[in-house]
Structure 1
Amino acid sequence: MDISIKYNPRLVEKKIYDYWINGNYFSSIPDDRIPYTIIMPPPNITGILHIGHILNNTIQDILIRYARMNGYNSCWIPGTDHASIATEAKIVSLLKEKGLSKEILGRRKFLSFVLEWTKKHKNIIFNQLKRLGCSCDWSRIQFTMNEKLSKSVIRAFIDLYNKGYIYRGDHVVNWDPEAKTTISNEEVLYKEQIGRLYYIRYKIQYEENYVTIATTRPETMFGDTAICIHPNDTRYYNLKGKYAEIPMTNKFIPIIQDSYVDMNFGTGCLKVTPAHDINDKNIADKHQLDIIDIFNDDATLNEKCPSVYRGMDRFDARKKIIEDLKKFGFFVRCEKLKQKIGFSERTFSVIEQKSSLQWFLKMKKLSVPAIESVKNGDIKFHPNELKKSYFQWMNNIKDWNISRQLWWGHRIPVYYYGNGDYDFVVAENFKIALEKAKFKTKNPHIKIWQDKDVLDTWFSSWLLPVSVFNGIIYPKNDEIRYYYPIEDMVTGSDILFFWIARMIISGFFFKKSKPFKKVYFTGIIRDSENNKISKSLNNSPNPIDLIEKYGADAIRMGLILKTSAGKDFHFNEEICLQGSNFSNKIWNAFRLIKSWNIDENENIYESSKIAMLWIKNRFYSVLDSFENFFKEYRFDESLMILYKFIWYDFCSWYLEIVKPNNKIISKIVYFNTIFWFENILKLLHPYMPFISEEIWNIIGKRKKEEALTISSWPKKNIYDNNVLYCFERTTKVISKIRHIRNMVNISYKESLLLYVENKKDNKIYDSIILKLSNLTKIISVSKEPVNISFIPFFLGKDKFYLSINKNSVSRNNIVHLEKKIKYFCNLLSTIRQNLSNDRYLKSVPRELLLKERKKESDTLEKINNLKKNLEYIKKMK
């Protein structure tokens, strides 16, 4: 087989993925094996994946491939999310470009249009996942709007409603004026901005006096239903029980007292606008105040406001109101104020708090078993520190607003009759609802209509561990009993509350048990300006462009080496280059091995015998560390130890030792090399599946059932630490000799002698030193040799003398050494400057301080060794 000089992932990856699919290696059905199940966090159906999705799915693929090779019945369920707000906003925007709107199309045509659009984008997303190498069971693709999941959502709603957990109520909610829908607290992004605090006079009824209030939102004053002061504020005792007039209206509102008021903010007088502030709503409920909503759904002022302002945008209205307040003498002053403004995560419009009649899910009681399961360790978090945030949120959990004023989504299964607001039945479909309404009203001619709103997107996602196996419709079916609970959830820490917490809650409600055993939280990938990489910000590199340029394995490896559980990191394309270089290193090692010719009669050199003994022990040592890191979900560390093992131990040491000079190698050495290379490929496969499978197939000309992806994971074995110690010491000797050769510029063609004082080492390792250092002989001496030119070096307490030909030493060698000594002296000075700086010592983490102290001692040792070498070289001259 012709093996290309440079590894070309574009020629390999599609071929290998087709090979896996044709072999049906990723499918799963219940059998007698132990299941290992993962559910893909479904990406939104709104375009291409970003680099955060690539990281998340790479980690899932690593876990699923590892489990598959360890004999588990691995089932990775892929899917996409219908993303109500984001998708509808996207489609509305597309329609607008064509001069259309969803109202012009009507609900049925609009939804038909959305479905066509989603089909196209589902395929784009799945193709991207395949390009990445994701070993999903593609026969199990889920879409949160498919028939099975939709039925599950409706059944879940009805079940929760019948048990008293779902209710309809009027609450102050976060309103997105662009999407014209309510959104959850978690979907609001807060940004600190410089605003204005406006001081406005309200006239006291029947008096010529005024009370001054301070507000950031003068446009909401037409929704004021009270002015509130603190009961202990002596400044305003005289106002108790009086009324004040809202400026530019004939409306009077009471002056009330409540300890909620901050006496030190503004004037200490609070305008109470219950429809547009949750805290004001709490005061209103307590004091039985009116609730007046002054905004239309698009945040323009409505008919509750004076006619001059009706239909005006809220921010335009603010400017006009300020002008008028000044004109009529109600304006006092304004001052700058730092404030946090809420923006919609989906449309980036400024959020309004708005009183609205919505559907809510009571969460307090439902959350109790979910709190206990994490507290007692039944569900484990990686990193464990995120449990603190989880408990803070869960212990203060609020009722979940589950309705959205959209057309795209799971329509709420509520059917109204009569006056429409509170006369309704809950049913799975129109036919059942009609029968219920007839029975309830005793009216055979009753007319009903379905609620126009849809359910929050997360209401389908929180059911996934149960609903993907149809466990809500058929609670005891074979699949739910076999696959549930799933093993691992991999997700971003930013949706701990959106999704993870809610899935745990739903698992205990619908299945009376945890939905998964462990959760791995990825950190947030950020761009160069520290912004979170996301679709909405459009600040992610195109993953397919990166795969085209570097290959999927390179992207996977680069991302994993940079990430650790829960920690954010900044994406830089250089990490992909590192992965690409590693792919080429592996490929070149493979090419070298395949270039050898096997001879059954070829002698096995002593150095090769030692190398084979060492690589065996080293492999099992690496496997032990690798597995310990892996089981602790420290994927970056497990990959790093593998990276170093392949790059340095296997390629730089083992292959150099056994490499034949004439390309003819002993059969035993060759197949030993192939055996350990195949085992290395097994460890590498979860991280870099394409190149490992390609080499595996070429090496063994494998049969279909012997694909690497379904091969057996290496079993742990004992290893001899003494062998590892002796070999490591041997490599240090070789490195010292190579360093001296480079320092004095002695050609590797020139054979040298090495003298060892009181040699106690096992001489069997001498064969490796002789070969890789190009020495003629290693001679044991009792003291420093005389009548020869040499450069000494130490290894611990042992002393070595490398013979040097005087004629090979030049003035340039001395200058070179002097420059190196000067460089390290300057470095040592900088290090010591830092270590003598009290401010530095107090500010840096302990780990960094220890590294600096180690750096100091290492640099000092280098300087001393260089100075000694310089003395010897000067003597030769």
Structure 2
Amino acid sequence: MTEIEKIYNPQAMEQRWYRHWEAKAYFAPSGTGAPYSIMLPPPNVTGSLHMGHGFGFTLIDVLIRYHRMCGMNTLWQTGTDHAGIATQMVVERKLNLEGKTRHDLGRDAFVEKIWEWKNESGGNISRQLRRLGASMDWSRERFTMDEGLSHAVREVFIRLYEEGLIYRGKRLVNWDPVLLTAISDLEVVNQEEDGSLWHIRYPLVDAKEYLVVATTRPETLLGDVAVAVHPDDERYRHFIGRQVHLPLADKTIPVIADTYVDPLFGTGCVKITPAHDFNDHAVGARHHLEPVNIFTPTAHMNENVPDIYQGLDRFKAREQIVRDLETQGLLEKIEKHKLKVPRGDRSNAVIEPYLTYQWYVKSKVLAEPAIRAVENGDVKFVPENWNKTYYQWMHNIEDWCISRQLWWGHRIPVWYDEDGEAYVGHDEGDARKRNNLEADIPLRQDEDVLDTWFSAALWPFSSLGWPAQTNDLKTFFPTNVLVTGFDIIFFWVARMIMMSLKFTGQVPFREVYITGLIRDSEGHKMSKSKGNVLDPIDLIDGISLDELVNKRTYGLMQPAMAQKIEKATRKEFPDGIPGHGTDALRFTFCSVASYTREIRFDTNRLGGYRNFCNKLWNASRYVMMNTEGQDTGLGGAPMTLSLPDRWIISRLQHVIRDAHEQMKQYRFDLYAQTLYDFTWNEFCDWYLELSKPILTSSGSTPDMLRGTRHTLANVLESILRLLHPITPFITEEIWQRLKHLTGRQGETIMLETYPQYHHSLLDEEAAKQIEWLKSVIIAIRTIRSEMNIAPGKLLRVLLRKGSQTDRVNYDGHRHLLFTLAKIERCDWIPDHEAPPQSATAFVGELEIFIPMAGFINKEEEAARLNREIARLEKDLSLIQNKLQNPQFVDKAPAEVVTKERSRQNEIEIALKKLRGQLEQVMAF
């Protein structure tokens, strides 16, 4: 046994314990008990641990550790996502620094370079997850480009294609003209920016009149195929069906009527450009108008515009078009206008709606069973209100664009012959075999890769070995719960449900716990551009102010923001960020994990939970100093449990019961608060203090000493097991030093049994007596504090009136009361006898007086009494208002009304006593 150190130092223990756990394979499924499994939402292989990861992954680890301790066969399946765009960008930038591009290498060599980078540098987030204490089974770590997962991806594509649920079509997509690929809605960031609204004249063909169209994108007018007005707009009804000249182009276009037009926006006339606007595309389809694409993939003007604009960048073309409109008298006016500009989250380029050939999944067919799965309760959202979001998206689902114009990713498993006929297969040989193609028929593979969300949709079952029917798949699928944010309910959650039902016939998980999104302390989204990002590792290890400033300002897209960010950072963290340790960070994450949509993360809370860990450490030192080498009842010797022993054991049962219920409901915040309150307030602040008089009294028998030592060690050991899912490191460190005092023989706390509730250990009578004792002690301590009486000064106390219970409790627990309240002498005085000049407190009917002779401060005592009188008068006023309200008296339950009337009577009695005491003080 090693003596526990005086100072709690998390950095000295955390990484050491994690290496030990991993080396011992404690994270692997036990092979016994009911299965419990969670899939890690696979972070990008390029990524670093951010606050959203730290938050969500901590909650998963709490669930995993809890269920592991509950005896379940627990698997946390881990892995990383190949992150098509992000990874390709990382390696391309490295090549650019060498003066090369991917095209210099060619596709195969470039992909080899990415694999090299992945093997050398792609494990950063895995290392950070270990720092977070994530107890995932690393021996099963998967990567979405592993051969097994790649096989599953191809198998799904082939099956869907052969069923006619995957097709290639020309449709409008979000196009990144820098990355030269389609991207998903989730990868588009809509930023409010300053812009303009150009009012352009479209001359009528058959009259010397014109319609004025307001647009934020004048360069797209060369792709216009119509001008639309609302059919009920009286201003324009007579123009419907007529033709207008398209400005700067030698063509005419019709005026059409469509309810899409908002008569109140701009001029009430809208230019329709189906090839470059999603809403316009829908209007064009309704009116059978042929889209005209005017952009190249790099967003330069193409051959479908007049010669003078061809080859111009879209924004250079805008400048030229505006000048030409003005020259020709077709520009009516320009207004300043705030607008949402769609930008790619990776490139920051303005995204273009762009008409291209892409691969699509027919989603409505897959969505129907996925909707039913939630409707009939096969999948449950927690909180339940997220059902509505899920249904809204699923009932309005569009076909899913699954192709990306990248080199890194799962390449589309389609080959074409010289006539453009498509054939699917796992490889070229398989495609030939499936379609009986001769070896001399030339084939070329599709150049595109699959959207990373496609492989992510298969993650719950592909990571377990599907399409092979592995033991892991049979044991751990469906998984128990998915923990994720609400922002990807559609992009990921829904697609996993669709794909799992389609290919396994089962839902991928039984519950979906939706977390809020972590914001900064002001409620703002954390982002590099705002300079408010926090790195969880910095909160664990600490970071100097200069290092933090450098981290927040390095590589900004807008360098002008650096000065503003530096100033804000120096103001918020003048001394940098101190290291708090992983356990304190995990506790903080749990404490804020409520059902709310957005969660503000205040670093000041970290200090509070660091203090909690320190409090637990010091309490453990006290317990071990008073039990080490002593008889704690392990040998079966008789023991007597004192009132404090019986009380803390009883309270422990309530906490255990509440902890299990809160975990069942995913109320991590209540779970954390319950354990915090019990550990800090009841065990450390009260029980340890109550144990001291027993351990130091000459009147304590060996049985009593044995009972208290037994309780100290065993309740602390139970607390450690209760806390372990939240704070794994400190609990393991203390438990290893304590376990021999409680008879525990296990190798690690993480494989011990989670405390179980025992109704037989409840002791409500002990609870009542301790509450009485605490109330009297608090009343005396309050007077001592408010009257500035030295903490160590022994007091003379007088008691008056009170009930028979008060006298029984006083007689039974006199020694505890005297010790904790630091009483020198206590006397009961007759009910009719006036006490000497005293500070006064009341506990129910019991009156407590502390004579002030020798150290009373008349003004301070009067002020204290006036504060107490004001507080009670306010409470009384609230109660009287309730009781004077007929609606409350008539509609509230009878017991509630009775309780309010009883409380009113108690306050009136107390006020009378306090006012009398105030008169006495003032007369002193």
Pair in the same fold by TM > 0.5: yes
What is the letter of the counterpart of residue 649 of structure 2? K
- Give the one of 730, 748, 752 matched to 1:707: 748
Q: Which amino acid aligns with 2:747?
A: E
Aligned AA (1:737): I
Q: In the alignment, is the contact (CA less than 8 A) between 2:862 and 2:921 conserved in 1? A: no
Find out whether 1:804 has 2:804 as its counterpart: no
For residue 481 of structure 2, the aligned residue among 475, 481, 488 is 488
> Hey, what does 2:588 align to over in structure 1?
558
Tell me the TM-score normalized by structure 1.
0.90
Paired AA for residue 648 in structure 1: N
- Cα separation, partners in 2 of 1:785 and 1:691, compared to 1, 3 Å: farther
In structure 1, what is the equivalent of residue 90 of structure 2?
90
> Which stretch of structure 1 is more off in the superposition, 545-554 or 665-674?
665-674
Aligned-residue offset at 1:791? 3.4
Cα–Cα, structure 1 residues 786 and 376, in superposed 2: closer, same or farther, change >3 Å? same
Measure how far apart 1:362 and its partner are: 1.0
Query: Partners of 2:631 and 2:209 in 1: how far apart?
Result: 111
Q: Which amino acid aligns with 2:24?
A: G
Q: Would you say the 8 A contact 2:631–2:709 is kept in 1?
A: no
- Residues 793-834 of structure 1: CA distance to partner in whole angstroms, max 9, x if unpaired? 2223x12233425123245xx33652784799699999999x
Is contact 2:787-2:860 (8 Å) kept? no
* Counterpart-to-counterpart distance in 1, 2:783 and 2:272: 82
Match of 1:783 among 809, 815, 831: 831
- Counterparts of 2:432 and 2:422, CA distance in 1: 10
In 2, the alpha carbon distance for the partners of 1:551 and 1:418 equals 63
Q: Do residues 692 (structure 1) and 731 (structure 2) align?
A: yes
1:491-570 to structure 2, matched below 5 A, reads 491-528=484-521, 530-533=523-526, 539-548=532-541, 549-570=579-600
**Counterpart Cα distance in 1 of 2:860 and 2:64:** 57
Counterparts in 2 of 1:537 and 1:267: CA distance versus 1, 3 Å? closer
CA distance in 2 between counterparts of 1:344 and 1:779 reads: 79
How far 1:231 sits from its partner (Å)? Answer: 4.4
Alpha-carbon distance in structure 2 between the residues aligned to 1:66 and 1:6 = 28
Stretch of structure 1 that moved more, 349-358 or 83-92: 83-92
Q: Distance in 2 between matches of 1:448 and 1:859?
A: 91
User: Which residue is 2:613 aligned to?
Assistant: 583
Count of residue correspondences? 846
**Match in the other structure for 1:680:** 719
Structure 2: which amino acid aligns with 1:686?
Answer: P
Q: Which moved more, 1:237-246 or 1:364-373?
A: 237-246
For 2:91 and 2:824, the matched residues in 1 are separated by 78
Tell me by how many angstroms 1:95 deviates.
2.6
Q: Which amino acid aligns with 1:102?
A: R
The amino acid across from 1:574 in the alignment is: N
Give yes or no for the alignment of 1:125 onto 2:125. yes
* Aligned amino acid, residue 610 of structure 2: S
Does the CA-based 8 Å contact 1:322-1:331 persist in structure 2? yes
Residue 645 (str. 1) matches residue 688 (str. 2): no
* Structure 1 residues 415 and 521, CA gap change in structure 2 (3 angstroms): same
CA displacement 1:246-266 (0-9 Å, x = unmatched): 222222333444444344443
Q: Is the 8 A contact 1:45 1:83 kept in 2?
A: yes
Report 1:61-460 matches (<5 A): 61-205=61-205, 208-233=208-233, 235-236=235-236, 239-420=239-420, 423-436=421-434, 439=437, 445-460=440-455
CA shift for structure 1 position 538? 6.6
Residues 276-330 of structure 1: CA distance to partner in whole angstroms, max 9, x if unpaired?
A: 1122222333333222211122222222222322232222221221011101222
Deviations 1:501-546 (A, max 9, x none): 1111111111112110111111111124543235787742222221
Is the deviation greater in 231-240 or in 751-760?
Answer: 231-240
Quote the residue 1:815 is aligned against. Answer: 860
How far 1:556 moved relative to its partner?
A: 0.5
Name the aligned partner's letter for residue 819 of structure 2.
K
Residue 779 (structure 2) aligned to one of 723, 729, 736: 736
Deviation at 1:366, TM superposition (A): 0.9
CA contact (8 A) 1:438 1:446 kept: no
Which amino acid letter does the alignment assign opposite residue 685 of structure 1?
A: H
SS of alignment partner, residue 758 of structure 2: coil
SS at match of 1:276: coil
Moved more, 398-407 or 767-776: 767-776
1:4 is displaced (CA, Å) by 2.0
CA shift, 1:234, in A, is 5.2
Moved more, 355-364 or 666-675: 666-675
* Residue matched to 1:27: 28
Q: Is the 8 A contact 1:555 1:575 kept in 2?
A: no
- Equivalents in 2 of 1:573, 1:860: separation in Å? 44
Following superposition, the deviation at residue 756 of structure 1 comes to: 4.2
650-659 vs 861-870, which moves further: 861-870
Structure 2 residue runs of 5 or longer lacking an equivalent are 542-578, 882-899
Aligned to 2:889: none
Q: What is the deviation of 1:90? A: 2.9
**2:794 counterpart residue number:** 750
Report the counterpart of residue 6 of structure 2 in structure 1.
5
Kept in 1, the 8 Å contact 2:4–2:737? The answer is no
Separation in structure 2 between the aligned mates of residue 486 and residue 728 of structure 1, nearest angstrom: 45
Taking the aligned partners of 2:914 and 2:111, their CA distance within structure 1 comes to 77
Structure 1 segments unaligned to the other structure (5+ residues): 837-852
Of all paired residues, the percent bearing the same amino acid is: 38
8 Å contact from structure 2 (residues 798, 829) kept in 1: no
1:872 offset after TM fit, Å?
4.4
| Structure 1 counterpart of 2:5, one-letter code | S
Match of 1:656 in 2: 689
- Give me the whole-angstrom Cα distance separating, in 1, the residues matched to 2:854 and 2:641: 35
Deviation at 1:741, TM superposition (A): 2.1
- Find the aligned partners of 2:876 and 2:216 in 1 and give their Cα distance: 52
> Shift of the alpha carbon at 1:138?
0.7
TM-score (normalised: structure 2): 0.85
Is 1:40 the counterpart of 2:51? The answer is no
Q: Distance in 1 between matches of 2:76 and 2:170?
A: 41
C-alpha displacement of 1:864: 8.4
Deviation (angstroms), 1:649: 0.6
Distance 1:248 1:861 in 2: 91
CA change 1:101–1:663 in 2 (3 A) is: farther
Instruction: Tell me, yes or no, if the aligned pair for 2:649 and 2:711 is still in contact at 8 Å.
Output: no
Deviations 1:660-702 (A, max 9, x none): 6759993332122101110011101001010001000011259
What is the DSSP-based 3-state SS (H/G/I as helix, E as strand, rest coil) of the residue aligned with 2:365? coil
1:597-647 deviation digits (Å, cap 9, x = unpaired): 655599x9x997111111111100111222222211111111111101111
SS at match of 1:199: strand
Cα distance between partner residues in 2 of 1:218 and 1:832: 67
